[in-house]
């Protein structure tokens, strides 16, 4: 078990009523008292992390929220047929608040936890704009409505070590990690879950849009199953796809059977203090800090050049390859676009761009995936008729897996074949695999594209290897994009335009299809959290 130091600050720990306080701060160490529960009180064992207090709180009876005919149909994913002791992770947002109220309405004994996961002194000037204090106030008010105790947990050290430092390391290697997946596996359902493992809670609940199907009590040896939520657009199984079976078995997601619109209606019905609050977006530990500012503070800046992949033309300069990701459009500041980042040379600090990122001769249906983890603990029996998500959102691809290595290997790496092209594959992101509505697991994307990457011409590669880039002089004057798409010639490493005489109708149709694909791909990219942080 991971031993943590959970630090409570008296000024930040709120309880709706003093008699419901279950924490007591003594010499900066945590002492827990038995939580009030009318039927089966929670008894916390004594250990070094949570020493038993010298006295216990008197037993207090609490009345359960009576079922309302309009609320009861929404309790299908809250296990209303049982009486459970549930630790609810409360963020201050609408989703987790409605999840808490549903669990309370189902008759469970709930304790809410607010995770304060990241604060760094270097960013103290930015935190005046961080909404975490508002989040905590909303969480306190939501708990106060139904007299549920709220406890504030500081996991800053754990979050820095297991999430933030990993993100920095991955960007330095030219990859694009996903902090949401890491936060779920390593913090919310990792460090936090380990810390409360001996506290008597039956389950941990959050406001995720996902559905966990647990086996019947007489078949507890069978695995729990993660399934897509009722709301396909809000479904968050992608972010939960890298959990282990032991983590999954301890989870409840009350919103798995409810759509986002219904959650908003329930928030109004419960008259929640945050019922009109907008959904949060972006990386949880940044608040309102721009991602580029975070990267600059922790990785720094190193000037490099931008080259056109097809011609090798010197187009401009950048602050460091780690500020850019494959498929990025915003932030390049190049005229005559749109331009897209198509490749990066990590060793030489080069960013390759192209205006033909969505042309049909750039097929992207094949990539390798590693660090595979299966929610059941075992790889799927059949691998030829699966579905795949390469980012959060409602879009799926039909796909197949081909294991690498011998049958005796642990099958931790595989080659993925997609049924259609995808222009947004980025090393470091996750690919989640499904069979019908069941999420099977996920792995980390290692390499993209069918060959070695987006085709980069010989001239561009030679310039990238130049030691003295000052010899390039000034960037070239960028001309407007030609109406006819460029075709890469692998023989001589050059890009040429189609001849006009090959049929204007074909060229016009190709151009129109390319624009349609571009609009579709850009709409998919709106689901990618990373795109929000490249805008200057």
Other Cβ atoms within 10 Å of 114 Cβ, number: 25
- Which residue among the candidates 110, 143, 183, 399 is catalytic per the annotation? 183
Q: How far apart are CA 36 and CA 13, in angstroms?
A: 18
Say what the pLDDT of residue 261 is.
95
Task: Note whether 377 and 327 are same-domain residues.
Answer: no
Q: Is the pLDDT of residue 52 over 50?
A: no
pLDDT tens-digit readout, 371-425: 999 999 999 988 999 999 999 988 899 999 999 876 656 578 899 999 988 877 8
- C-alpha 242, offset from chain centre: 11
pLDDT tens-digit readout, 211-253: 999 998 778 889 999 999 999 999 999 999 999 999 999 999 9
Q: Are 46 and 71 in contact (CB under 8 A)?
A: no
Which of the two residues, 72 and 21, has the higher pLDDT score? 72
Task: Note whether 317 and 402 are same-domain residues.
Answer: no
Query: What value does the mean pLDDT take over residues 154-158?
Result: 88
pTM of the full structure: 0.73
Is residue 12 assigned to a domain?
no
pLDDT tens-digit readout, 301-358: 899 999 999 999 999 999 999 888 888 888 888 998 899 998 899 999 999 999 987 7
Report the domain count for the chain.
Answer: 3
DSSP 98: H
Q: Are 274 and 138 in contact (CB under 8 A)?
A: yes
Say what the pLDDT of residue 220 is.
80
Structure-token pair, residue 490: 């692998």
Other Cβ atoms within 10 Å of 395 Cβ, number: 16
Q: Where do we find the tokens 């299908």?
A: 76
Q: Maximum Cα–Cα distance for the chain, whole Å? A: 91
Task: Note whether 315 and 429 are same-domain residues.
Answer: no
Q: How buried is residue 338: exposed, middle or buried, by Cβ count under 10 Å (0-12/13-18/19+)?
A: middle
Task: Note whether 100 and 171 are same-domain residues.
Answer: yes
Task: Note whether 172 and 201 are same-domain residues.
Answer: yes
The 3-state secondary structure of 378-413 reads CCCCCCCCEEEECCCCCCCEEEEEEECCCCCCCCCC
Strands 29-32 and 430-435 come out as unpaired
Is residue 236 assigned to a domain?
no
Say what the pLDDT of residue 285 is.
53
Say what the pLDDT of residue 104 is.
95
Is residue 23 assigned to a domain?
no
Is residue 20 assigned to a domain?
no
Is residue 92 assigned to a domain?
yes
Q: How far apart are CA 387 and CA 63, in angstroms?
A: 46
Say what the pLDDT of residue 208 is.
96
Strands 203-205 and 85-89 come out as parallel
Say what the pLDDT of residue 48 is.
30
Q: Among 360, 324, 356, which Cα is nearest to 337's?
A: 356
Q: Is the pLDDT of residue 515 over 60?
A: no
pLDDT tens-digit readout, 139-152: 999 999 999 999 99
Q: Is the pLDDT of residue 508 over 50?
A: no
Task: Provide DSSP, 130-185.
Answer: -THHHHHHHHHHHHHHHT--EEEEE-HHHHIIIIIHHHHHHHHTT----HHHHHII
Q: How buried is residue 408: exposed, middle or buried, by Cβ count under 10 Å (0-12/13-18/19+)?
A: exposed
Task: Note whether 390 and 335 are same-domain residues.
Answer: no
Query: What value does the mean pLDDT take over residues 436-443?
Result: 96
Query: What value does the mean pLDDT take over residues 175-192?
Result: 92
Is residue 63 assigned to a domain?
no
Which of the two residues, 264 and 408, has the higher pLDDT score? 264
Say what the pLDDT of residue 238 is.
97
- Which residue among the candidates 110, 284, 399, 439 is catalytic per the annotation? 284
Q: Are 370 and 353 in contact (CB under 8 A)?
A: no
Q: Virtual CA dihedral for 139, 140, 142, 145, nearest 10 degrees?
A: 170
Task: Note whether 333 and 370 are same-domain residues.
Answer: no
| 284 catalytically annotated | yes
Task: Note whether 419 and 316 are same-domain residues.
Answer: no
CATH number at residue 406: 2.40.30.10
Q: Are 476 and 315 in contact (CB under 8 A)?
A: yes
Task: Note whether 323 and 404 are same-domain residues.
Answer: no
Q: Is the pLDDT of residue 30 over 60?
A: no
Say what the pLDDT of residue 69 is.
63
Structure-token pair, residue 341: 């980042």
Q: Where are the beta strands (DSSP E) in 206-349?
A: 211-213, 225-227, 251-252, 304-308, 314-318, 340-345
pLDDT tens-digit readout, 8-27: 433 333 333 322 223 322 22
Task: Note whether 122 and 163 are same-domain residues.
Answer: yes
pLDDT tens-digit readout, 82-141: 899 999 999 999 999 999 999 999 999 999 999 987 655 455 444 445 557 788 999 999
Confidence at 489, pLDDT banded by 50, 70, 90:
very low
Q: How many residues does the chain have?
A: 536
- What's the Cα-to-Cα distance from 512 to each of 114, 293, 436, 483, rounded to whole Å? 50, 38, 34, 10
| 173 catalytically annotated | no
Query: What value does the mean pLDDT take over residues 297-301?
Result: 81
Say what the pLDDT of residue 169 is.
87
Task: Note whether 425 and 307 are same-domain residues.
Answer: no
Task: Note whether 130 and 258 are same-domain residues.
Answer: yes
Q: How far apart are the first and last CA of the chain?
A: 43
Name the average pLDDT for the chain: 76
Is residue 49 assigned to a domain?
no
CATH number at residue 312: 2.30.30.280
Lowest mean pLDDT among 67-71, 131-135, 318-322, 509-513: 509-513
Find the helix packing angle between 94-105 and 132-146, rounded to 10°. 20
Find the helix packing angle between 165-172 and 291-299, rounded to 10°. 80
Classified as helix, coil or strand, 30 is strand
Say what the pLDDT of residue 141 is.
95
Instruction: Count the helix, strand and coil residues of the chain and give each as a percent rounded to the nearest 5.
Output: 30, 20, 50
Domain closes at, from 404, 437, 465: 465
Is residue 158 assigned to a domain?
yes
Query: Range of 110's domain?
Result: 73-207+254-270
Domain closes at, from 465, 496, 528: 465
Confidence at 465, pLDDT banded by 50, 70, 90:
very high
């Amino acid at each position: 078990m991971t031993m943590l130091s959970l630090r409570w600050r008296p000024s930040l720990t709120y309880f709706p009523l003093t008699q419901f306080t279950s924490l007591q701060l003594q010499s900066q160490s945590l002492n827990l008292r038995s939580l009030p529960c009318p039927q089966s009180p929670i008894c916390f064992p004594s250990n070094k992390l949570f020493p038993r207090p010298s006295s216990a709180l008197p037993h207090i009876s609490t009345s359960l929220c009576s079922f309302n005919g309009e609320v009861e149909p929404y309790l299908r994913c809250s296990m209303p047929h049982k009486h459970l002791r549930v630790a609810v992770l409360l963020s201050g947002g609408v989703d987790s608040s409605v999840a808490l109220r549903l669990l309370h309405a189902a008759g469970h004994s709930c304790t809410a936890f607010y995770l304060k996961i990241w604060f760094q002194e270097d960013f103290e000037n930015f935190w005046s704009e961080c909404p975490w204090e508002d989040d905590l106030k909303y969480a306190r008010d939501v708990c106060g409505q139904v007299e549920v105790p709220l406890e504030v947990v500081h996991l800053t050290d754990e979050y820095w070590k297991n999430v933030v430092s990993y993100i920095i390391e991955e960007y330095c290697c030219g990859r694009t990690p996903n902090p949401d997946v890491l936060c779920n596996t390593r913090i919310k359902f990792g460090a936090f879950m380990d810390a409360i493992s001996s506290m008597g809670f039956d389950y941990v609940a959050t406001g995720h849009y996902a559905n966990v199907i647990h086996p019947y009590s007489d078949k507890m040896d069978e695995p729990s199953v993660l399934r897509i939520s009722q709301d396909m657009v809000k479904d968050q199984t992608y972010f939960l796809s890298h959990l282990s079976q032991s983590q999954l078995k301890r989870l409840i997601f009350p919103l798995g059977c409810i759509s986002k619109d219904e959650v908003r209606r329930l928030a109004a019905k419960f008259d929640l203090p945050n019922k009109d609050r907008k959904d949060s977006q972006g990386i949880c530990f940044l608040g309102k800090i721009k991602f580029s500012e975070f990267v600059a503070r922790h990785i720094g800046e190193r000037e490099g050049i931008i080259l056109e992949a097809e011609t090798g033309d010197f187009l401009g300069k950048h602050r460091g390859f780690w500020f850019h990701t494959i498929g990025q459009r915003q932030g390049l500041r190049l005229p005559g676009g749109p331009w897209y980042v198509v490749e990066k040379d990590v060793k030489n600090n080069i960013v390759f761009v192209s205006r033909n990122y969505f042309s049909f001769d750039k097929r992207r249906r094949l990539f390798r995936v590693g660090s595979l983890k299966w929610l059941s603990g075992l790889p799927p029996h059949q691998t030829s008729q699966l579905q795949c998500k390469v980012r959060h959102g409602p879009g799926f691809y039909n796909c197949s897996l081909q294991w690498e290595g011998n049958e005796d290997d642990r099958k931790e790496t595989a080659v993925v074949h997609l049924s259609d092209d995808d222009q947004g594959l980025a090393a470091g992101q996750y690919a989640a695999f499904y069979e019908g509505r069941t999420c099977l697991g996920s792995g980390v994307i290692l390499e993209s594209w069918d060959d070695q990457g987006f085709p980069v011409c010989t001239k561009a590669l030679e310039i990238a290897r130049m030691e003295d880039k000052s010899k390039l002089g000034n960037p070239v004057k960028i001309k407007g994009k030609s109406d006819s798409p460029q075709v890469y010639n692998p023989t001589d490493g050059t890009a040429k335009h189609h001849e006009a005489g090959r049929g204007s109708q074909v060229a016009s149709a190709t151009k129109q299809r390319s624009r349609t694909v571009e609009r579709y791909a850009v709409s998919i990219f709106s689901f990618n959290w990373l795109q929000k942080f490249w805008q200057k």
